[in-house]
């Protein structure tokens, strides 16, 4: 039985590959695909998302929602792993379609499928925070919100203590965490435990398929960037790990926690804070992945991407 998912992303290579996975997966009914500002600015995010759809040409094109600029975003994020255009220089110079805003697509998906749609957020939480702010009556109609981001151990990836998605728009992240929605968090601590070595490239679909061509063109850029900037021969694909947490939650160990976000500018902007005292004095508001069976996740991702290749011959 397929799950109704709306995928919200800031495409980058990582999120673009997650889009490829979701478009063709037999257990996912993609009711919407929305862009947000993050890895790249809004206009480039929209172009990247359109480019991925154009390159993969899925038999059923999901409704697209376009990103708007995030007013509180930092000027410089230090993210330089995905190439100048955020998509390994594969983004096409295509004319943007007259799509609705991301918030509108999200809103209509939840209205049309009350209690059935899971919002999987791979980037900053700007869009879903806007939905909750402008349509608070829909809060209880969302089945679940799966968030990729944050850090339980306090170690960040864009500052010493902040994960990128939370750092980019901490006000929106706080609004979502404080909402009454059912939420699941896949933090850095867990997504960093799933790594893809160079052997992953040999397991991808053949280059003669549209999915295989896209994957084999984009992923080498990520491997080069991880080697140059992190001295690593492996890469992370956090967006794919977040999707797996949605469709295969049994691959993860979960713990109910009480979480908040530091919204003030300064050294701790975007830090995810958890009340782990005993007894806990904050109300627990989110389930957090604390462990992952990484080999099961990797095998399922390889299988899903190979299937995408078979559908795009």
pLDDT tens string 34-61 = 999 999 999 999 999 999 999 999 988 9
Contacts 24+ apart (CB under 8 A), 224-232: 225/80, 225/81, 225/82, 226/81, 229/80, 229/81
pLDDT computed for residue 271 by the predictor: 97
How far is residue 185's CA from residue 151's CA, in Å, rounded to a whole number?
Answer: 9
pLDDT computed for residue 75 by the predictor: 54
- Tell which residue, 72, 118, 92, has the closest CA to residue 249: 118
H or E segment at 310? helix 294-310
Spell out the domains of the chain, with CATH numbers in brackets: 3-310 (3.90.245.10)
pLDDT computed for residue 78 by the predictor: 47
pLDDT computed for residue 253 by the predictor: 98
pLDDT under 50: residue ranges of the chain: 78
């Amino acid at each position: 039985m397929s799950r109704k998912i709306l995928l919200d992303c800031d495409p980058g290579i990582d999120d673009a590959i997650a889009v490829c996975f979701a478009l063709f997966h037999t257990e996912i009914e993609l009711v919407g695909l929305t862009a947000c500002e993050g890895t790249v600015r809004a206009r480039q995010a929209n172009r990247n998302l359109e480019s991925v759809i154009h390159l993969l040409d899925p038999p059923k094109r999901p409704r697209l929602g376009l990103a708007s600029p995030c007013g509180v975003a930092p000027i410089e994020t230090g993210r330089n792993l995905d190439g100048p255009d955020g998509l390994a220089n594969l983004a096409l110079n295509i004319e943007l379609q007259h799509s609705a805003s991301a918030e509108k697509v999200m809103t209509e998906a939840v209205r049309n499928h009350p209690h059935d749609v899971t919002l999987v957020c791979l980037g900053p939480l700007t869009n879903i925070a806007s939905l909750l702010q402008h349509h608070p009556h829909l809060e209880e109609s969302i089945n679940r919100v799966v968030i990729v981001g944050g850090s339980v151990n306090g170690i960040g990836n864009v500052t010493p203590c902040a994960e990128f998605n939370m750092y980019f728009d901490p006000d929106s992240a706080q609004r979502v965490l404080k909402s009454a929605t059912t939420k699941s968090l896949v933090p850095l601590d867990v997504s960093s435990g799933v790594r893809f070595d160079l052997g992953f490239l040999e397991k991808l679909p053949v280059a003669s398929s549209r999915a295989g061509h896209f994957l084999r063109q984009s992923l080498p850029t990520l491997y080069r960037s991880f080697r140059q900037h992190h001295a690593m021969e492996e890469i992370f694909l956090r967006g794919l790990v977040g999707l797996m947490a949605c469709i295969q939650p049994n691959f993860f160990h979960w713990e109910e926690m009480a979480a908040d976000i530091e919204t003030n500018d300064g050294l701790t902007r975007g830090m995810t804070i958890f009340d782990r005292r005993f007894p806990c004095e904050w109300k627990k508001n989110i389930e957090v992945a604390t462990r992952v069976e990484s080999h099961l996740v990797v095998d399922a991702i390889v299988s899903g991407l190979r299937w995408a290749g078979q559908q795009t011959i």
